[in-house]
Amino acid sequence: MRRDIFQAIADPSRRAIITLIAIQAMTPNALAEHFDISRQAVSKHIRILDECRLLKKEQLGREIYYHLDPQKMKEVADWIEPFRELWEVKFNQLDQVLQNLKKKK
């Protein structure tokens, strides 16, 4: 089972779960109410996110509140970061074009 964060965020339901618990820790039941799929399907998504160490559990009685571990999210940011200069260079080039147009006026 390949199980890394990139595979974890590939699924739109899982990205939605991540966004939801980033705002506020939630139980599986509470999460499931936000989706059209079954509670068990949500549970399977949680399991995958958990296996990627994206979650932290806080058990209160029979309820389990799932929190997001933002540190793990950083891995995605770290991978994308080296490409930033590429799209920003492009932006700067456009910037240059616009400045040249200004000067011509």
Give yes or no for residue 98 binding a copy of itself (CB under 8 A). Answer: no
Q: Which of 19, 40, 92, 93 binds DNA (CB under 7 A)?
A: 40
Measured from the CB atom, the residue of 9 and 64 that comes closer to a copy of itself is 9
Nearest to 26 by CA among 74, 51, 60: 60
Give yes or no for residue 48 binding DNA (CB under 7 A). Answer: yes
Give yes or no for residue 93 binding a copy of itself (CB under 8 A). Answer: no
Tokens 């939605």 map to which residue? 16
Contact 66, 27 (CB under 8 A): yes
Q: Which stretch binds DNA (CB under 7 A): 16-24, 31-39, 67-75, 94-102?
A: 31-39
Phi-psi sector, 61: left (phi>0), alpha (psi -120 to 50), beta = left
Exposed / middle / buried, residue 13 (Cβ in 10 Å: 0-12, 13-18, 19+): middle
- Residues contributing to the site for a copy of itself (CB under 8 A): 2, 4, 6-7, 9-10, 12, 15, 22, 68, 70-71, 73-74, 76-77, 79-84, 86-87, 89-90
